[in-house]
């Protein structure tokens, strides 16, 4: 569109449309980059519209009428019409169109019309000049003459059908139509040429001033029916008067065809030289980027391209090109600071950069973000940046502070440009987002509601009187009789010929009245609800409700499907009120395009009022009424405002737009020169659904989500698109710095960095075109189990290309699900009799976990070590039968070699041997030798053993020489890789195996080293407890149970190795960092003490065999731990803690250790007489047993005597407890706690070694900072 002014008349808006395009190309557009020239053809501007708010009054005198006043009044319009008819006669009425139907256009020939105002002629001359300029006509060479052709009067209903006046008849090259001021609505002017059309509406300007329209001869024009008022117009012919050739309207069809070829080549080109967008410099600069603000030539070019953009597959947009120039500034002269800044220029340009910012469409909606332009191939003209820079800069940045300083200079220039961009899937994606985002899925083409409480109608029918509700049969029959009498026999005959049988019976709305004012208020509320459902804007004035008819349906009555025609101008919908009456059947079926809906109110019809509404253009059908009578009031909803009435476009525009976008997406292909396009688009739903709910499909959706899917599914599936439902999971990860709150996000307190992970999920609709169906279903995200399930469903004996693609994809994912892939692919390989595919599947899956033979077992990923192969997999046997053993032998070799389970391999070979022995000799002669050679290979290359390999190894040893074979051939292969538990069980079974003829001593000697290794690998040296860092319970094994198992395994077999078990419990060399004292105490309390109790019970039964064992390390550890428990008042009473301390005295070497390590501490502790007595009794109980040797008994008696002496001669009372430890005492826990945890490695310390060890010099601290330590045991009375 373009805007210009005509002087001197003010406020004249000249709008130029139909900017037809000539497009010339220097070279083939691709692969060589070309320049596009878009000059406007000066002879191809066919129309002009101008509104003249202030202009001269023509002072029109009409013969027989006199001067006509303006604006034209209703009275003058009637007089003009009457006078024209009386002068010409009814037979001489001039019809404006030979095919005119309905009311004619009243016209006066030019000979009967004159203009008396001389200013009008001058003003008309200026209008003609402006029209010639706008239409691209050289008025100097044409010297046009403006001839008045006729005066026209349009009244309601008059219109003209489309027609085109021949070009240059009698020199006429254009038509000029000037509408004089008059009040009217409707009657818009439609002009078209070469497939491009435009519409001029005069509703807003008809009464305020003159409106002029000019068009070239050859342009098709049509005047739509006037809906109200009158319209008065002067029709002029513009005639060429010189001898030069008259101006001709050149067809632009060739130009448009050429444009289409260029765009097609542009769209299909995949070479990198082809630009994705072309930037065209407009003639003028604009602040707002909308088509409505463009002027002159710019408006013509942009509007023309916009007309063809959608059909040719490209975008037309507006934006600004910003050119940034950087360089060195010239030295300013002649002005003082700061005015010298205005005088600087560039002495040297270092860089230039041009970019387009926020390309928008012609409605101002964003098409793309900013992008850079290089010039040449992607700009018109090629030197666009230089042209922009030749103008005045918008801003600059100069860093020179003085006149004498040369600084750097940056300047920015901007101009408005038009952007041409080929439509891609990326564009479709943004269009789809706008389409769906602005879609009101609540909108419908129909409305239905039931009202339990409604005001009384006070329904009156002329000639019948008042009708009571609910309707009774008597009144129904009366209404039927009145309707038949009003219709007359001729109408009844017509009715019988229609599809409507046995009614319905209608009474015109003019004969029906509803006298209760409250009924109209009720209808107003209903109409508002109808507006909401039919997606009519709330700003639209409420429609006028015209009662059209009263309709009665009786038994057998029905109405065939038909579209409701427009009853009057502005009629856009039908409102039906079904009044209370008892009936069955009579359901209303409404349909529009592919959508249909049924409303059945028979169940509640007796006492409720039902209201339905639908747009005109919707096909309505009433099914047969089976019993009773249905009575309904039918209203026409009529738009009385001047704005266009609502229509089905309110709800069909979005589906149409969606259909266009999906169609473009369907045809799109990835362009290697552009960014890759997505395979699918996700559409976020309002509600969130569980995975279980999504398995139900669309039935699980509710509310708006269900409507979205229904509409989207209809449009998408019709174009071959696929839809699915999914949950999108987004994980957010954050590494947080320490803060002042001492809050750690991963559970650890303190100021360490924390780590936070959160998962968010929402439900989406997934849409993808069919050509991406395979990739979406299987390749992305690549679920191997889903792929294998699809392969397993194949039953065709000949593969298709998609089958082969799916199998290849499964084999690529074999690492993630080798059993599923192997079984599914090998199955189809047997189905297709494809040996290479079978071998390929085995070779691809065997190396991946679970390996080897496990790929044909009923497992997914985890290997069942206890799995027993009782028979050979049918996939292997069928392959041997189908392809022959020799051809699958290499695959069997791979499976056996890759399988890491010793027992399963031997079981497989045994099962295969059993099967082969039942086969013909041609098969068994090949299979049996391979089985034997494979057994030898596995025996010489044993894998890491697991249960039940211990039984296998014993069996192999019995077959090949007994215990020596086990110790010399099998154990050397597995000793390095077996865990302690397996070695322990193997040694125990070998020791107990009666098939090995060696004595117990020999077995113990040969197997003790293996048991020693097993104990060294036993997981019994860890502790159970809380994992402080992650706030969860430690999942380490139950150490005590494991330790007891090793203890039981050594008893009477390897007694000499029992001390190693206690040493392993105390081993902390494998712990990370230093162990905390608290955990050292727990290790003793939870594992060591219970294990020593078990040993003590065994020691009582076999004292001679176990008395020589060295248990000094566990005994010393128990004394240290128990003493800490006494000093720190741990769980239990003082007597219970002392009893645990005295237990060690009953162990081998325990009496000596108690005397050396425990007695010095007890002597220095302030013990009560009762406590000492308890100690004495506990020690005497051990002394009374017969298991202690004489040395142990002597040491224990000495301890008892010393305690009795201490009880008889207690130390003098002291106000302060002793603070120094005995020289033989090992330091214990202090009363002061350090903020950081301390860990100490336990050491075996004896009294003798401490006596000879030099005591280190104490570290003296200042008095204020010296830590107070004390060893203190609470008295019984203090507890």
Could you please report the per-residue DSSP string of 173-239?
A: EEEEEEEESB-EEE--EEEEETTEEEEE--TTTTTTSEEEEEEETT-EEEEPPEEEE-EEEEEEEEE
- Number of neighbours of residue 1096 by Cβ within 10 angstroms: 19
Say if 951 falls within a structural domain: no
What CATH number does residue 481 fall under? Answer: 2.60.120.620
Chain-centroid distance of CA 364 in Å reads 27
Say if 1095 falls within a structural domain: yes
**Domain count of the fold of the chain:** 6
965 or 465: whose pLDDT is higher?
A: 965
The residue-averaged pLDDT of 444-470 equals 86
Q: How far apart (Å, rounded) are the C-alpha atoms in residues 875 and 822?
A: 10
Q: Which of 723, 745, 772 is the last residue of a domain?
A: 772
**Count, residues in the chain:** 1279
Looking at the structure, do residues 217 and 354 belong to the same domain, yes or no? no
Q: Quick one: CA dihedral 546, 549, 552, 557, positive or negative?
A: negative
Looking at the structure, do residues 548 and 588 belong to the same domain, yes or no? yes
The residue-averaged pLDDT of 800-829 equals 91
Looking at the structure, do residues 643 and 660 belong to the same domain, yes or no? no
Confidence of residue 268 (pLDDT cuts 50, 70, 90): low
Confidence of residue 83 (pLDDT cuts 50, 70, 90): confident
Looking at the structure, do residues 793 and 694 belong to the same domain, yes or no? no
Say if 1016 falls within a structural domain: no
- Give 808-811 contacts, CB < 8 A, sequence gap 24+: 809/778, 809/779, 809/782, 810/784, 811/840, 811/841, 811/844
Residue among 356, 362, 227 at smallest CA distance from 294: 362
Rg (CA), the chain: 52
Q: How far apart (Å, rounded) are the C-alpha atoms in residues 943 and 952?
A: 12
What CATH number does residue 229 fall under? Answer: 2.60.120
997's tokens: 């003829």
Residue 830 in this model has a pLDDT that exceeds 90? yes
Residue 805 in this model has a pLDDT that exceeds 90? no
Looking at the structure, do residues 236 and 285 belong to the same domain, yes or no? no
Q: How far apart (Å, rounded) are the C-alpha atoms in residues 452 and 578?
A: 12
Confidence of residue 168 (pLDDT cuts 50, 70, 90): low
729's tokens: 């999971």
Phi-psi region of 244 (alpha: psi -120 to 50; beta: other; left: phi over 0): beta
Q: How far apart (Å, rounded) are the C-alpha atoms in residues 1057 and 1050?
A: 7
Task: Measure the CA dihedral 423/426/432/437, to 10°.
Answer: -130
Strands 277-281 and 379-380: parallel
Q: How far apart (Å, rounded) are the C-alpha atoms in residues 120 and 111?
A: 18
Say if 350 falls within a structural domain: yes
Residue 39 in this model has a pLDDT that exceeds 60? no
Say if 961 falls within a structural domain: no
Contact status, residue 526 vs residue 449, Cβ threshold 8 Å: yes
Looking at the structure, do residues 660 and 741 belong to the same domain, yes or no? yes
Sheet holding 681-684, edge to edge: 681-684, 754-768, 722-736
Say if 208 falls within a structural domain: yes
What is the model's pLDDT at position 949? 92
Q: Give the best-scoring range by mean pLDDT among 138-142, 585-589, 680-684, 1178-1182.
A: 585-589
Looking at the structure, do residues 368 and 453 belong to the same domain, yes or no? no
Q: How far apart (Å, rounded) are the C-alpha atoms in residues 447 and 577?
A: 11
Q: Which domain holds residue 298?
A: 277-423
Sheet holding 465-466, edge to edge: 465-466, 459-461, 512-514
Q: How far apart (Å, rounded) are the C-alpha atoms in residues 1194 and 1203?
A: 15
What is the per-residue pLDDT across 594-606, written as a single tens digit (0 to 9) for each? 677 889 998 888 8
Looking at the structure, do residues 134 and 200 belong to the same domain, yes or no? yes
Looking at the structure, do residues 467 and 615 belong to the same domain, yes or no? yes
What is the model's pLDDT at position 343? 67
- What is the DSSP code (8-state) at residue 113? B
Contact status, residue 1127 vs residue 1217, Cβ threshold 8 Å: no
Strand stretches in 133-188, DSSP E: 145-154, 160-164, 172-180, 184-186
SS3 1012: helix
139 or 1237: whose pLDDT is higher?
A: 139
The residue-averaged pLDDT of 739-750 equals 45
What is the per-residue pLDDT across 59-73, written as a single tens digit (0 to 9) for each? 677 666 677 777 777
550's tokens: 């009263």
Q: Which of 203, 235, 250 is the last residue of a domain?
A: 250
920's tokens: 């013909």
Say if 1131 falls within a structural domain: yes
Looking at the structure, do residues 681 and 593 belong to the same domain, yes or no? no
Looking at the structure, do residues 736 and 758 belong to the same domain, yes or no? yes
What is the model's pLDDT at position 434? 61
What is the model's pLDDT at position 1150? 86
What is the model's pLDDT at position 1249? 34
Residue 626 in this model has a pLDDT that exceeds 50? yes
26 or 1091: whose pLDDT is higher?
A: 1091
Confidence of residue 498 (pLDDT cuts 50, 70, 90): very low
Q: Which of 234, 250, 266 is the last residue of a domain?
A: 250
What is the model's pLDDT at position 1027? 39
What is the model's pLDDT at position 301? 75
Task: State percent of the chain over pLDDT 70.
Answer: 70
878's tokens: 């069928």
70 or 572: whose pLDDT is higher?
A: 572
Task: Measure the CA dihedral 703/705/708/713, to 10°.
Answer: -120
What is the model's pLDDT at position 194? 67
Q: Provide the mean pLDDT of the chain.
A: 75
Confidence of residue 753 (pLDDT cuts 50, 70, 90): low
Half-sphere exposure of 300 (CA within 13 A, CB side): 28
Looking at the structure, do residues 761 and 789 belong to the same domain, yes or no? no
Say if 173 falls within a structural domain: yes
Q: How far apart (Å, rounded) are the C-alpha atoms in residues 23 and 200?
A: 28
Confidence of residue 26 (pLDDT cuts 50, 70, 90): very low
Q: Which residue has the tokens 């080798």?
A: 818
Question: DSSP labels for 672-733?
Answer: TTSPPPPS-EEEE-SS---HHHHTTGGGG--HHHHHHHHHHHHHHHHTT-EEEEEEEEEEEE
Lowest mean pLDDT, pick from 196-205, 594-603, 890-899, 1044-1053: 196-205
């Amino acid at each position: 569109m373009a805007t210009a002014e005509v002087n001197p008349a003010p406020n004249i808006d000249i709008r130029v449309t139909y900017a037809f395009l000539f497009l010339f190309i220097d070279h083939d557009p691709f692969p060589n980059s070309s320049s596009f020239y878009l000059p406007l053809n000066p002879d191809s501007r066919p129309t002009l519209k101008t509104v003249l708010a202030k202009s001269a009054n023509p002072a029109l005198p009409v013969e027989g009428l006199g001067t006509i006043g303006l604006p034209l009044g209703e009275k003058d319009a009637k007089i003009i019409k009457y006078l024209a008819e009386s002068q010409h006669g009814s037979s001489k009425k001039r019809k404006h169109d030979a095919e005119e139907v309905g009311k004619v256009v009243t016209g006066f020939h030019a000979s009967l019309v004159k203009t008396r105002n001389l200013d009008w002629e001058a003003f008309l001359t200026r209008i003609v000049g402006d029209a010639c300029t706008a239409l691209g006509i050289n008025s100097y060479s044409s010297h046009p003459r403006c001839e008045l052709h006729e005066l026209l009067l349009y009244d309601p209903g008059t219109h003209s059908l489309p027609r085109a006046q021949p070009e240059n008849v009698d020199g006429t090259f254009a038509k000029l139509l000037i509408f004089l001021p008059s009040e009217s609505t409707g009657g818009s002017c439609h002009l078209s040429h070469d497939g491009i059309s435009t519409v001029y509406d005069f509703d807003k300007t008809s009464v305020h001033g003159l409106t002029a329209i000019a068009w070239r001869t050859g342009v098709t024009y049509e005047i739509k029916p006037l809906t109200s008022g009158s319209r008065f117009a002067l029709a002029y012919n513009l005639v060429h008067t010189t001898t030069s050739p008259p101006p001709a309207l050149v067809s632009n069809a060739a130009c448009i065809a050429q444009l289409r070829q260029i765009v097609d080549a542009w769209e299909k080109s995949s070479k990198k030289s082809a630009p994705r967008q072309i930037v065209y410099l407009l003639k003028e600069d604009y602040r707002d980027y909308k088509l409505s603000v463009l002027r002159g030539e710019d408006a013509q070019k942009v509007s023309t391209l916009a007309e063809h953009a959608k059909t040719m597959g490209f975008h037309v947009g507006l934006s600004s090109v910003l050119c940034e120039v950087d360089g060195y500034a010239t030295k300013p002269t002649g002005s003082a600071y700061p005015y010298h800044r205005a005088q600087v220029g560039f002495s040297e340009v270092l860089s230039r950069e041009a970019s387009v910012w926020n390309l928008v469409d012609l409605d101002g909606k964003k098409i793309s973000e900013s992008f850079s332009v290089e010039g040449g191939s992607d700009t018109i003209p090629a030197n666009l940046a230089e042209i922009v820079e030749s103008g005045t800069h918008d801003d600059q940045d100069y860093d020179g502070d003085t006149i004498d300083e040369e600084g750097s200079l940056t300047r920015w220039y901007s101009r408005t440009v038009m952007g041409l961009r080929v439509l891609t899937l990326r564009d479709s994606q943004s269009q789809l987002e706008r389409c769906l985002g602005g879609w009101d899925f609540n909108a419908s083409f129909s409305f239905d509601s039931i009202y339990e409480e409604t005001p009384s109608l006070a329904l009156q029918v002329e000639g019948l009187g008042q009708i009571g509700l609910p309707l009774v049969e008597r009144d129904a029959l009366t209404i039927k009789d009145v309707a038949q009498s009003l219709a007359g026999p001729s109408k009844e005959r017509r009715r019988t010929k229609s599809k409507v049988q046995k009614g319905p019976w209608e009474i015109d709305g003019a004969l029906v009245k509803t006298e209760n004012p409250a009924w109209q208020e009720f209808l107003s509320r209903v109409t508002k609800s109808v507006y909401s459902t039919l997606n009519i804007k709330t700003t639209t004035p409420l429609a006028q409700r015209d009662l059209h008819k009263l309709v009665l349906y009786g038994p057998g009555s029905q109405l065939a499907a038909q579209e409701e025609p427009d009853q009057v101008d502005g009629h856009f919908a039908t409102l039906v009120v079904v009044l209370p009456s008892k009936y069955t059947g009579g359901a209303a079926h409404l349909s529009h395009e592919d959508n249909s809906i049924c409303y059945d109110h028979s169940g509640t019809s007796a006492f409720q009022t039902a209201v339905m509404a639908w747009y005109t253009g919707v096909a309505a059908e009433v099914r047969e009424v089976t019993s009773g009578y249905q009575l309904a009031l039918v209203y026409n909803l009529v738009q009385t405002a001047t704005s266009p009435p609502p229509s089905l476009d309110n709800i069909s525009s979005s589906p149409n737009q969606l259909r266009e976008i999906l169609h473009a997406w369907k045809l799109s292909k990835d362009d290697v020169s552009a960014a890759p396009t997505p395979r699918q688009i996700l559409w976020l739903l309002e509600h969130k659904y569980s995975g279980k709910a999504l398995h139900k499909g669309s039935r699980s959706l509710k509310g708006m989500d269900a409507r979205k899917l229904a509409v989207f599914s209809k449009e998408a599936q019709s174009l071959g698109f696929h839809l699915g439902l999914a949950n999108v999971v987004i994980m957010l990860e954050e590494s947080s710095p320490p803060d002042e709150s001492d809050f750690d996000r991963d559970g650890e307190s303190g100021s360490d960095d924390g780590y936070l992970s959160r998962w968010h999920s929402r439900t989406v609709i997934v849409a993808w075109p069919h050509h991406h169906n395979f990739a979406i279903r299987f390749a992305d995200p690549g679920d191997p189990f889903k792929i294998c399930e699809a392969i397993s469903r194949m039953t065709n004996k000949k593969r298709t290309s998609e089958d082969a693609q799916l199998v290849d994809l499964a084999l690529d994912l074999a690492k993630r699900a080798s059993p599923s892939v192997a079984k599914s692919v090998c199955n189809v390989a047997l189905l297709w009799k494809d040996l290479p595919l079978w071998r390929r599947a085995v070779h691809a899956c065997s190396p991946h976990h679970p390996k080897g033979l496990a790929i044909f077992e009923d497992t997914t990923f985890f290997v069942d070590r206890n799995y027993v192969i009782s028979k050979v997999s049918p996939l292997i046997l069928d392959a041997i039968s189908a392809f022959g053993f020799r051809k699958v032998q290499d695959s069997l070799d791979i499976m056996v070699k890759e399988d890491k389970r010793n027992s399963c391999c031997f079981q497989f070979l045994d099962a295969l041997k059993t099967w082969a022995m039942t086969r013909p000799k041609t098969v068994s002669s090949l299979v049996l030798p391979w089985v034997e050679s494979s057994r030898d290979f596995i025996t010489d290359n044993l894998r890491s053993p697991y249960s039940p390999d211990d039984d296998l190894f014993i069996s192999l040893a019995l077959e090949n020489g007994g215990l020596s074979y086990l110790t010399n051939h099998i154990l050397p292969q597995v000793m390095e890789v077996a865990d302690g538990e397996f070695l322990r069980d193997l040694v125990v079974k070998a020791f107990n195996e009666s098939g090995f003829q060696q004595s117990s001593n020999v077995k113990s000697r040969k197997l003790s080293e293996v048991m020693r290794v097993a104990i060294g690998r036993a997981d019994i040296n860890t502790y159970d407890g809380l994992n402080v860092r992650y706030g969860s319970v430690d999942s380490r094994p139950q150490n005590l149970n494991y330790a007891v198992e090793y203890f039981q395994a050594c008893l009477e077999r390897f007694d000499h190795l029992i001390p190693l078990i206690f040493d392993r419990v105390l081993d902390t060399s494998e712990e990370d960092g230093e162990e905390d004292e608290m955990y050292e105490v727990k290790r003793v309390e939870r594992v060591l003490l219970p294990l020593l109790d078990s040993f003590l019970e065994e020691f009582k039964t076999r004292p001679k065999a176990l008395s020589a064992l060295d248990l000094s390390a566990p005994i010393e550890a128990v004394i240290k731990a128990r003493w800490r428990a006494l000093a720190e008042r741990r769980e239990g009473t003082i007597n219970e803690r002392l009893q645990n301390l005295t237990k060690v005295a009953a162990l081998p070497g325990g009496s000596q250790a108690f005397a050396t390590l425990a007695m010095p501490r007890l002597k220095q502790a302030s013990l009560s007489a009762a406590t000492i007595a308890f100690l004495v009794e506990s020690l005497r109980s051990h002394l009374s047993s017969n298991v202690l040797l004489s040395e142990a008994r002597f040491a224990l008696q000495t301890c008892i005597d010393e305690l009795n002496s201490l009880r008889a001669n207690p130390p003098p009372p002291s106000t302060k407890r002793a603070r120094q430890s005995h020289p033989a005492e090992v330091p214990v826990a202090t009363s002061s706690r350090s903020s950081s945890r301390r860990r100490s490695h336990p050491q075996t310390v004896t009294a003798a070694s401490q006596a000879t060890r030099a005591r280190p010099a104490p570290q003296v601290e200042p008095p204020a900072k010296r830590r107070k330590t004390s060893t203190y045991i609470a008295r019984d009375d203090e507890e």
